[in-house]
Amino acid sequence: MELWFIILISISIAALLKALINFTNKPTKNLPPGPFTIPIISNILWLRKSLLGLEPILRSLSAKLGPVITLHIGPITAIFVSDRSLIHQALVQNGPTFANRPPPGIVDRILSCNQHNINSAPYGPTWRLLRRNLTAEILHPSRVRAYSQARRWVLQILIDRLKSKSEPVTEDTVLDTYLIPKNAVINFMVAEIGWDPKVWEEPMSFKPERFMSSDGGKGGEVIDITGSKEIKMMPFGAGRRMCPGYGLAILHLEYFVANLVWNFLWEAKDGDDVDLSEKLEFTVVMKNPLQLEDDLQRMPYLKAVILKSLRRHPPRHFLLPHAVTEDTVLDTYLIPKNAIINLNLAEMGWDPKVWEDTMSFKPERFMSSDGGKAREVIDITGSKEINMMPFGTGRRMCPGYGLAILHVEYFVANLVWNFVWEAKDGDDVDLSEKMEFTVVMKNPLLVYISPRSQNK
């Protein structure tokens, strides 16, 4: 036992000495500044932190060292960027260089099917093919319009479920209900590809021979289920991985409704009689809650509230990590090839240089002076300049951001039209955050919901 202990200590000391020698003798590179690190020990300390736990530390380091800093986390060189102009320079002006993904670990390689989905695929032919398939098929505007019936179907399920919990007026946590639109609509969109009569003759018939070649070969020789050449079917849920921004935005419905309820309470404190349905232009526009989605284009306040929520409470505080395809320079600093680039999108929405009174609920800042569309004021794509980027920007921007905004507007509008939302016992709504798979409300939204009189 003592011998093994001595051997273990000797190996540990040798490894530490080797790391120290390599650290002191390595050539100096003009990497972005970072905190002083002690080999092995500092790495272990950083590995214990989640990205959300790192934020206060990164904010403090950025105040001292600048908007670009370096952390050595294990064997990885991680570079964090929090300045909007530098992020625009990297992702838009030098898009191809910063469009890669870092090499995956073993677990990530398995979960991503060896980087064969649009989120994790390296920048190259495979990624271009995946993105082209999405934008030309599932996310094409004509295809999105064709799913309006599915949205109405899912909306009715959502409304019926909430009504069953709100008669009589009850207190309930509605977070689990928000999973309905996310899962149902996407599953419908992906399944519809396998039912398309333009592709499949008698799509509902049992005809296994259509998957077999004439000489009795394997079905895979006839139908490519990966969609690498042509999308005919996607049995392994490629659509569910089509874009992280879409699913995160739908899961964020709780925050959108919470912001509306919070705003109602805030204005009610001033003695005003506030009706959210009137505040959101519903009495004029949405006489029928299942009206055509074109009505959403005439609801600038609704759009402003949603953009405000995405700015103040982005579903992710960091974009998916980027990597550079070659050594490059950003803000006079060397960014080495394959270094992991982490871009802090939350800081973009909280920057006091851009947003006055950053934490206040001011949806009117997203509206033009003549009451025009909210998007005329703020460009969330970041193509010209970055003020906020909830769906990323540049070549790796989520291709499903338009679908996400449409679905959020559609479901939030109908939730407010169909129900009266009131905070529990008139309490303030706690908008503080915590990190799970995505950023969620630390204290789930607890409300009283009741059908509006005209919808009972």
> Going from the N-terminus, what domains does the chain have, and what CATH number goes with each?
148-206+241-316+350-455 (1.10.630.10)
Which residue did the predictor score with more confidence, 341 or 228?
341
Residue whose C-alpha is closest to residue 194's, from 202, 185, 203: 203
- Average model confidence (pLDDT) for the chain? 71
Which residue did the predictor score with more confidence, 216 or 73?
73
Burial class (CB in 10 A: 0-12, 13-18, 19+), 223: middle
Cβ neighbours around 25 below 10 Å, total: 7
Instruction: Please tell me the least confidently modeled range out of 36-40, 264-268, 446-450.
Output: 264-268
Q: Report pLDDT for 54.
A: 76
- For the residues 193-199, what does the mean pLDDT come to? 46
Cβ neighbours around 171 below 10 Å, total: 13
Q: What is the pTM of this model?
A: 0.73
Instruction: Give me the DSSP letters along 112-171.
Output: TTTT-STTTPPTTHHHHHHHHHIIIIITSHHHHHHTHHHHHHHHHHHHHHHHHTSSS-EE
- For the residues 433-445, what does the mean pLDDT come to? 73
According to DSSP, the residues that pair with 451 across neighbouring strands are 419
Instruction: Please tell me the least confidently modeled range out of 3-12, 39-48, 153-162, 234-243.
Output: 234-243
148-164 helix and 179-194 helix, angle to the nearest 10 degrees: 150
In one-letter notation, the amino acid at residue 279 is K
pLDDT over 60 (residue 367): yes
Could you list the residues known to form a binding site, using ranges.
398
Contact 190, 234 (CB under 8 A): yes
Contact 321, 98 (CB under 8 A): no
Q: Report pLDDT for 1.
A: 53
Confidence of residue 152 (pLDDT cuts 50, 70, 90): confident
Could you list the residues known to form a binding site for heme, using ranges.
398
pLDDT over 90 (residue 68): yes
Q: Rounded to the nearest 5°, which phi and psi values hold at 80?
A: -115, 130
